[in-house]
Amino acid sequence: MEWMSTLDAGFYFVEHENVPMHIGSLVVLEGPAPAYEELIDLYAAKLPMVPRYRQVVRTVPMQVFRPFWADDEHFEIRYHVRYASVPAPGGQAEVRALAARLLAQRLNRARPLWEAWLLDGIAGDRWGLLSKVHHCVVDGIAGTDLLTKVCDLSPEFERPVPQPWTARPAPSAASLVSSGILDTATWRWRQLAGVPGFVRHRLASPAEALRFGWGLTAGARRLASRAPWSLNGPIGPDRNWAWTTVDFGDVKRIRREHGGTVNDVLLAAITRGFRDLLAERGELTRGLVVRSLVPVSVRGQDEHAEFTNRVSAVLANLPVGEPGPMRRLTLLREQMSDIKRTHQAVGPEFLTEMLGFVAPTVLALGSRAAFGMGQPLVQTVTTNVPGPSFPLYILGHKMVESYPYVPIGDNVHISIAIFSYLGCFYFGITSQKGEASDVEALTRGITTGVAELIDLGSGAA
């Protein structure tokens, strides 16, 4: 038995019928598709490397204690590794429609919180592997590490042999109560004892603490900027999922010629996408911004084997009302540089640490309330997860495409995930059902945003 961390518990509590809280991906591989039994054996053989995938979340009445992880005594691999056929002719439209339908479905909370789908019938003699895992299990960076467990670095492979596994018995009521009381009694003290070290690690000097304070003031000013209203509002259970790709070399060229970071260039491309979307809706005006929650990994180099969330986030204004592409990139570069220089990711991380002081019942209620505050502070989420620049293989089949998926939340209609793989940036765009035409404008605008920065050439203003 293992008690959930504060952040993991928050992701678990905020889920409800219209807000499934899993992340995922669709990877496309060269065909022909392997047999279903081969994929079953592959996952069964890799599960010892990721023990969380055979564990379920348990809670106690009234959330008196934190949720905890326990082995699934009735674990069945075939429940989690599934098969679906893409409708003919198996083109991108059919693949996206099937993937969107599968990704919109909530994971069964009575089971370990993951699924993998073998998708057969993709045009061009290809097949797909669609993965879903709840956000309380892993963050995006850890999810990348999980992907490597089922992937090889060459087409050569030996058919995996699953090993026997026996679940540990569920804790008795007496041991659960005693362990829960001990955890509750010591949890707050552990959090309190860790605060000085946390502050010293994140803000190592008085000057850095002062810069952090200045950054909070600048962040408050950014919140005063006018944002569009139509990107917020109630959401239903159904989803659209779109994607596009951008050449890695083009993004690096823009960064090299105009400065900043790769992420600045990607945010500039997304800004152009939202600019086009809002123009199509007739809402685009000068000075308008789209506020994006940008997750930031705080995972150390020695923490990649930990299957828990190690993320913070910052708020960034995407300057959609600015007509000049170079000016948009400059504004984003200056803003993101200021956010990093003033350590603004420390604030949300510190608040998450402080949530460790509240009772689990309050944590559950507070998580749902906080997640529902996206309107009007946040209009979208944009997350960028680095992937490998070398080819990966699954059961001897080369992975040729990799599209990421992130959920949307209460009041937030669109979220964007980016994954880099083999010379491309893959954008996965999740949206509220019924906004397909608008999302097409956003998708086209992302590629246009990169193209226009390339066309400006070196030294353009």
What CATH code is carried by the domain that includes residue 272? 3.30.559.30
pLDDT for res 49 = 87
pLDDT tens sequence across 316-344? 899 999 999 999 999 999 998 888 877 55
Quote the domain boundaries for residue 227.
204-456
Beta strands in 275-366 (DSSP E): 290-297, 311-318
Asked if residues 271 and 328 have their Cβ atoms less than 8 Å apart, the reply is yes
- The tokens describing 312, both together, are 């913070």
Q: Are residues 218 and 168 in the same domain?
A: no
Residues 195-215, mean pLDDT to the nearest whole number: 59
pLDDT for res 350 = 40
Last residue of a domain, one of 174, 194, 225: 174
Q: Which contiguous run of DSSP H or E holds residue 184?
A: helix 173-202
Q: Is residue 334 part of a domain?
A: yes
Confidence of residue 218 (pLDDT cuts 50, 70, 90): low
Q: Are residues 169 and 216 in the same domain?
A: no
Q: Is residue 179 part of a domain?
A: no
Residues 159-171, mean pLDDT to the nearest whole number: 87
Asked if residues 75 and 110 have their Cβ atoms less than 8 Å apart, the reply is no
pLDDT for res 212 = 60
Q: 52 pLDDT exceeds 80?
A: yes
Q: Are residues 159 and 243 in the same domain?
A: no
Residues 43-48, mean pLDDT to the nearest whole number: 92
**Nearest CA to 255 among 332, 335, 342, 191?**
332
Asked if residues 450 and 265 have their Cβ atoms less than 8 Å apart, the reply is yes
Q: Is residue 461 part of a domain?
A: no
Distances in Å between the Cα of 191 and the Cα atoms of 179, 311, 350 are 17, 17, 11
Q: Is residue 300 part of a domain?
A: yes
> Which SS3 state, helix, strand or coil, does residue 218 take?
helix
Last residue of a domain, one of 174, 195, 227: 174
Confidence of residue 31 (pLDDT cuts 50, 70, 90): confident
Q: Are residues 108 and 243 in the same domain?
A: no
Quote the CA–CA distance of 388 and 18 in Å, as a whole number: 33
How many domains, the chain?
A: 2
User: Higher-confidence residue: 129 or 358?
Assistant: 129
What is the model's pTM?
Answer: 0.85
Q: Are residues 158 and 242 in the same domain?
A: no
